[in-house]
Amino acid sequence: MTLERVTVLGATGSIGTSTLDVLGRHPERYRVHALTAHRSRESLLAQCRRHRPAVAVLDAEEDAAWLRGQLAEAGLATEARAGREALVEVAEAREVNTVMSAIVGAAGLLPTLAAVEAGKRVLLANKEALVMSGALFMDAVTRHGATLLPIDSEHNAIYQCLPVDHRGGLVRHGVTQLLLTASGGPFRGWSRDDLVRVTPDQACAHPNWSMGRKISVDSATLMNKGLELIEACWLFDARPDQVQVVVHPQSVIHSMAAYSDGSVIAQLGNPDMRTPIAYGLAWPERIDAGVEALDLFRIARLDFEPADEVAFPCLRLAREAMAAGGTAPAVLNAANEVAVEAFLAGRLGFTAIGELVGRVCDECPVMPADDLETILEVDALARRAARVRLARQ
């Protein structure tokens, strides 16, 4: 078997470390080409010792210089680099077959697009990149012959429940609806009044999944489900009304596809991201992911309920942004990134996240999102609008 060379963008994060765990179980199959991180240089150094990549990338030159010194001392041949250009280069490098896109937020867009444009196998965890640039992104996948595999557990589940070649729209394949499951987050069943005083630590304590802080807050506001609804529309060529959100607190069914003959196909598993990661790495084969077998007797029951869009308006805002089209999802995403950062820094209340995002969405005009410059400009504009509103609070 020829060795697959893998770049992991966002290697020190929750998805990044799970990816390295799976890769480490199959040394005969995978080699790490590059690992990247924003500022966590100590974690990146530890990963370099273990996985011996050819390249390691950090954001600041100062951190890369520190890493260079440490690598030399450890006698490792890894080259330490800094900055966005280096990120793009390790995503599109000729020797790389597979790129794990696991940077959080808009910062992941350019390197992920570079991997797509280089025709790589792209494992997409970074949903914000697709939300911002949907049409452009999917068009680039087709034009450059990239293989796009969704890593977000819900989309990975749907991918597994659809026919192998599901291009050309859902209806053509007899699919009537995608059922996107949601845990409901840590505040399921809470009223809007209860939510006002929620703290960052409460919001980050997810009942079923252990994740980075930004996506944990998104899960708590249900913006994560909103971003995932947009993600599903792009990945599976679906309209927003073909995607139904189903709250399923046990997080055992990761999503489903309903067919015209009445069949509903679901993918089940323990809530462990190593399952979708291993699926994406080995597709169309299957490899060991280190995940415990599902014990249905221990789970005993599966519950379902509708989402509460009154207490959690972010889901509605996302659906509206997708229906509005063009740059609307990019505005939604940018405003949300600013709002979540402010919430995590203790500068914005929990319920104010949705309010701020709603106001910025109302304020920014919707334009066609045909080219990258427009998308990046709109992203910057929406961030500015959100910051101006924050400063006024």
- Please identify which residue in 126, 183, 251, 351 interacts with ligand NAD, judged by CB under 6 A: 126
- Please identify which residue in 92, 128, 152, 218 interacts with Mg ion, judged by CB under 5 A: 152
Residue 238 CB, nearest distance to ligand NAD (Å)?
A: 19
Residue 224 CB, nearest distance to Mg ion (Å)?
A: 6
Residue 37 CB, nearest distance to Mg ion (Å)?
A: 22
Residues contacting residue 383 through CB under 8 Å, at least 6 positions apart: 334, 335, 337, 338
Annotated binding site for Mn(2+): 152, 154, 228
Q: How far is CA 64 from CA 32, 50, 51, 93, 126, in A?
A: 19, 18, 18, 19, 24
Hey, what are 183's tokens? Answer: 């845990």
Q: Is 100 in the site for ligand NAD (CB under 6 A)?
A: no
CA distance 49 to 190: 45
Give, rounded to a whole angstrom, the gap between the first and last alpha carbons of the chain. Answer: 59
Residue 127 interacting partner from ligand NAD, Mg ion, none (CB closer than 5 to 8 Å by kind): ligand NAD
Q: Is 107 in the site for ligand NAD (CB under 6 A)?
A: yes
- Please identify which residue in 59, 63, 308, 379 interacts with ligand NAD, judged by CB under 6 A: 59
Neighbours of 132 (CB within 10 A): 28
Q: Is 146 in the site for ligand NAD (CB under 6 A)?
A: no
5 or 254: CB nearest Mg ion: 254
Concatenating the DSSP letter of every residue in 140-177 gives: HHHHHT-EEEE-SHHHHHHHHHS-S---S-SGGGTEEE
- The amino acid sitting at 10 is G
Annotated binding site for NADPH: 12-15, 39, 126, 128, 212
Q: Is 40 in the site for ligand NAD (CB under 6 A)?
A: yes
CA distance 211 to 14: 6
Range in contact with ligand NAD (rule: CB under 6 A) among 102-110, 236-244, 294-302, 333-341:
102-110
Q: Is 209 in the site for ligand NAD (CB under 6 A)?
A: yes
Q: Is 172 exposed, middle or buried (0-12, 13-18, 19+ CB in 10 A)?
A: exposed
Q: Which residues bind ligand NAD (CB under 6 A)?
A: 10-16, 37-38, 40, 59, 102-104, 107, 125-128, 152, 209, 211-212, 214-215, 273
